[in-house]
Amino acid sequence: MKTSNRSPNGRILRLLVRRLPIIPISLLMIVLISFFLIALIPQSTATAIAGQGATAERVAEINRELGLNLPIWEQLLRYLGRLAHGDLGLSFYTQLPVWPDLVSHLPATLELVIPALVLAVVLGIAWGTLGGYFAGRFVDQGVRAVGSALQAMPEFLVGLLLIYVVFYTLGWAPAPTGRLGITSVTPPTVTGFYTVDALIAGDGATFSDAVVHLVLPVLTIALPLSAVLARITRATVGDAFGGAHTEYARALGLPERQVVRYALVDARTSILTFVAACIASMVGGAAIVEIIFNWQGVGQWAVTGMTNLDPPQIQGFVLFSGTVTLLVYIALDLLSMAIDPRISIGDS
Amino acid sequence: MPASRLPRIRLGRWSSAGLVVGATILIALFLAGLFLPLRFGPTDLNVDAISQPPDGTHWFGTDEVGQDLFARTVRAARTDLPLALGGTALASVLGIAGGLAVSSRSRWSERIMRGLDAFQSLPLLILTIALVVIADNSLIMVAVAIALVSGPFYIRIVRSQAIVLRESRFIEAAVASGAGTARVMWKHMLPNMRSLILAQTALTGAVALLVVAALSFIGVGVVPPTPSWGAMIRIGSGQLVTGQWWAVLFPGLALFACIISFNLVADGLRDRAGRKRSAGAR
Amino acid sequence: MNTSLMEVENLRTTYRSPGGSFEAVRGVSFGLAHGRSYGLVGESGSGKSSIVRALLGLVRPPGEVTADTLRFDGRLDLLTTPAKQMRQVRGSGIGYVGQNPFGALHPVLTVGEQYHQFLRAHGRTKRRRESRELAATVLADLGLPDPEAVLRGHAGQLSGGMAQRVVLGFSTLLDPKLVIADEPTTALDVTVQSQVLDLLADRTTGAGRSLLLVTHDLAVVAQYCDEVIVMRKGHVVETGPVASVFPHPLHPYTAALLASVPRAGTAPRPLPATSVAAAAAGCDFATLCSRAGPECHDHRPELVERDTGRAAACHHSLVEAGR
């Protein structure tokens, strides 16, 4: 063996050693970006924040509160000092501490995004594999046509279409007014997931209410995402099906089920990479869907912060989503390394 | 290998058809937005015709303040399309210049690419909302937002192609014969990347339109009473749950048609680029 | 000639597409006997690989196979064999060795996992331990120093010679009666080519199996094969025992092919360039052949038996003319 010493575990360990020092550097970059985002905007921003017709005193007060009148290095030190204590400041509008406020919106987003991602991955891989297997034939063209139509629809159009058809016309889904109907009582908070909390409380009615309220927003996220994923799966799995090792697997007399599995295993790293990108984008990307369904998740919370120009909220969101993305990509690196012997550390 | 001797399956005609259809729809919508004479003004309020379903007078119906939705849908092309194209132009300049600038295999360009990774890990679409709000809904800032969201992808595409080209024989020959870097880029690299750049530009057009629509759907960028598809859909979405489908459907269709047209044009251009490349490889 | 292992009559493979169809194999007949080795030679594009795919039942739409006879082992009509049974024939009835072991072996799954799936697909064992033991024995027989490590590893970690041995292991593990090797050494270093070919010969004819060796290297045929089948543009132009065909080729094309091989003492003569426009009705070689007469341009010569075990498709066979 040329490289029998390269056991998967050893490679992952080496990658970790190489990547670990990068994590604090990247985190620092995210912190700096979140700082300069606010610090570098002109002083007139205070006017924008205060709104038109605000008194000069109010503008000066905002400048003082933001520290915009201080030298920039002092602003930075103050910001870092507060971060070190886990203090992201108070929202200008709600006067709530930003970090706990963000965390309180997190379960709603996760409860929406996790099933949506799972559904998108299952649908996308299934459609893409079907298209790749029947490359160039009717099934393939059908999958591609549906895919390009879905990709040309902004998320909010998909959501509104679903609301009109499934809620208004068919009456199969509840009104898009949040996570529960008005008659349901919010279950006692354990995890923050209404479905899980309702089960813990043994409240069957609330559980099913939470589930039916999930259906449309989950579909709204999952359908367009699955179209993109299907396209990527179609390309990579299609390549694998056309490749020499598929032909060889057939020449060995393996059943088609195994041949398909071989192609999927070959393509799984690229699929995984895309799924990671989806997870990373979900933090902010669910915002529009949350708005349509009044979901009160992190995305909707962030958009409110942006439109209000609420600096602590903006900073908090940038810090949070940047860190999540960073962690997702590091997890992706490790996972790809573990499942794909073709990847060597030098490549990255 | 017999496979390579097979007559190549000709998808060419189809992708060319997509190219023509896509371009025609875009041009037609744009021209209609500019010049189509309208019976009602897009911002005319009519308290006698509020939330009317489509009929012979108001072809697309009216909204909650009695504005004619046909006029608004058509005239929205006047704002949304140039805005998307402006943002696309900005993203293209950024993408081509940036992509060429970091196309060397130096440490610096590697570092810049890592920085781009970090930048793209930010929730860009959400952040641009704040930018546009700070700039008091300036349309220039919407174009900047488009460039920020789609520019990084553009840079990556241009860079990867430029790296391949730089290592090809004829660029090496040009460099060896003493041509300066700028000259090589302008005279030799760019012309060879034309199909790819055109395709990526069309693709960026679709993304740009999505950004414009998403921003105005959230309520920033193009704000009423100026007609824009995204804002019309948001206003219409309030009435959708009572069954007033028309206020969402028609601007939605217009948006859908434009995005799919941009994608068709991009696919067609990309197929052509691919065909040229495979023909050149023989 | 005992041809009971594989009988092929008038085999054709056609690839259809909207832009027209292409016939890669245009009516080919030959037979393979038990325990003998055959060299299938011809330039690239002569239809060799298409024949291999047809014999293995691997031609997929838009490709299409027809034949008057395509019989394996005297009983199985490969054209009508149901897919499930055909799957069993591949691997356990007919072993296969391809050109590039790195393309053939799965890049992500371990070698051991691939052996396990192979053994499971053919109903040999469901237990991983058992398949690992079986595979390790075979790999050790093929001269791989540390079979357990190979089974734990991936194809990408192997050298070319080792990887092709892993493929050889697959092709002989289930004791098939025929092994088809499609240019098994073109992707390998020159230094290991003869090792792999020696092993291949040893595991096939050396163990009573038949070997169909597809190659464009006539020296390899001379060294390893009993019989030769010469192809050109989808037709068989000459068949016969290597011992008599090589010194005295019947077909002018075979002669040209043999003359193009570099040999000590004589300068190699390049093969005449293939013309694009071949005579539609006549012999494909007519435009390049010094012996061609008008009939060569008008009538395609049939493959006719000329001698014991020899056949050629030519109006002006060399030996006859020279006699």
Q: How far apart are CA C239 and CA C250, in angstroms?
A: 9
Least confident window among B263-267, C23-27, C295-299 = C295-299
pLDDT at B8: 41
Maximum alpha-carbon separation in chain B: 76
Question: What are the phi and psi torsion angles at C73 (to 5°)?
Answer: 60, 30
| Radius of gyration for the alpha carbons in chain A, expressed in angstroms and rounded | 24
Enumerate the residues of chain B whose CB falls inside 8 A of the CB of residue C50: 2
pLDDT tier for residue B168 given thresholds of 50, 70 and 90? confident
Considering only alpha carbons, which residue of chain C is nearest residue A249?
C104
Least confident window among A286-290, C41-45, C261-265 = C261-265
B residues 182-241 near A, CB within 8 Å? 206, 210, 213-214, 217-220, 230, 233-234, 236-237, 240-241
Enumerate the residues of chain B whose CB falls inside 8 A of the CB of residue A156: 213-214, 217, 233-234, 237
pLDDT tens digits, residue range B128-156? 888 888 888 889 999 999 999 999 999 99
User: Using a CB cutoff of 8 Å and minimum separation of 24, what contacts does B32-41 make?
Assistant: B32/B74, B32/B77, B33/B74, B33/B75, B33/B76, B33/B77, B33/B78, B33/B81, B34/B77, B34/B78, B36/B74, B38/B68, B38/B70, B38/B71, B38/B74, B38/B75, B39/B68, B39/B71, B40/B67, B40/B68, B40/B70, B40/B71, B41/B68, B41/B71
Are the Cβ atoms of A252 and C153 closer than 8 angstroms?
no
Q: What is the mean pLDDT of residues B116-120?
A: 80
pLDDT at A120: 94
pLDDT at B37: 86
Q: What is the mean pLDDT of residues A306-314?
A: 85
pLDDT tens digits, residue range C75-84? 888 888 888 8
A303 Cβ under 8 Å from any chain B Cβ: yes
pLDDT at A4: 40
Among A16, A27, A221, A232, residue whose Cα is nearest residue A131: A232
- Eight-state DSSP code of residue C225: -
pLDDT at A236 over 70: yes
Q: How far apart are CA A45 and CA A59, in angstroms?
A: 9
pLDDT at B7 over 60: no
Q: Taking the CA of residue B266 as centre, how many other CA atoms within 13 Å lie in the half-sphere pointing to its CB?
A: 17
Among A112, A146, A168, A38, residue whose Cα is nearest residue A285: A112
Q: Taking the CA of residue A239 as centre, how many other CA atoms within 13 Å lie in the half-sphere pointing to its CB?
A: 12
pLDDT at B142: 93
pLDDT at A48 over 70: no
pLDDT at B9: 43
pLDDT tens digits, residue range A240-267? 888 888 989 999 989 989 999 999 998 8
pLDDT at A128: 92
C residues 119-138 near A, CB within 8 Å? 121-122
For testing the chain C interface, which of A5, A239, A246, A248 should be mutated: the one with the most C CBs within 10 Å? A248
Are the Cβ atoms of B241 and A280 closer than 8 angstroms?
no
Are the Cβ atoms of A3 and C157 closer than 8 angstroms?
yes
| Residue ranges of E strands in A119-231 | none
pLDDT at B163: 85
Q: What is the mean pLDDT of residues B12-22?
A: 74
| DSSP percent split of chain A into helix, strand, coil, nearest 5 | 75, 0, 25
Among A171, A301, A156, A182, residue whose Cα is nearest residue B235: A156
A-to-B residue pairs, Cβ atoms closer than 8 angstroms: 118
pLDDT at B6: 39
pLDDT at B61: 87
Mean pLDDT, chain C, rounded, equals 85
Are the Cβ atoms of A3 and C87 closer than 8 angstroms?
no
pLDDT at A5: 43
Q: What is the mean pLDDT of residues B96-116?
A: 84
Residue that is written with structure tokens 């998967």 in the block: A8
A309 Cβ under 8 Å from any chain B Cβ: yes
pLDDT at C320 over 60: no
pLDDT at A26: 80
Are the Cβ atoms of B214 and A136 closer than 8 angstroms?
no
pLDDT at C275: 52
Q: Which of A152, A306, A322 sits opposite B133 (nearest CB)?
A: A306
Q: What is the mean pLDDT of residues B34-58?
A: 84
Q: How far apart are CA C299 and CA C17, in angstroms?
A: 29
pLDDT at A39: 67
pLDDT at A43: 52
Q: What is the mean pLDDT of residues A186-214?
A: 89
pLDDT tens digits, residue range C274-286? 554 444 677 878 7
Q: How far apart are CA A287 and CA B31, in angstroms?
A: 34
pLDDT tier for residue B279 given thresholds of 50, 70 and 90? very low
Question: How many residues in total does chain C contain?
Answer: 323
Q: What is the mean pLDDT of residues A142-154?
A: 87
A55 Cβ under 8 Å from any chain B Cβ: no
pLDDT at A3 over 60: no
pLDDT at A63 over 50: yes
A10 Cβ under 8 Å from any chain C Cβ: no
Least confident window among A22-26, A37-41, A135-139, C179-183 = A37-41
pLDDT at A111 over 90: yes
pLDDT at A40: 63
pLDDT at C212 over 60: yes
For testing the chain B interface, which of C11, C12, C15, C16 should be mutated: the one with the most B CBs within 10 Å? C15
Mean pLDDT, chain B, rounded, equals 84
C142 Cβ under 8 Å from any chain B Cβ: no
pLDDT at A2: 41
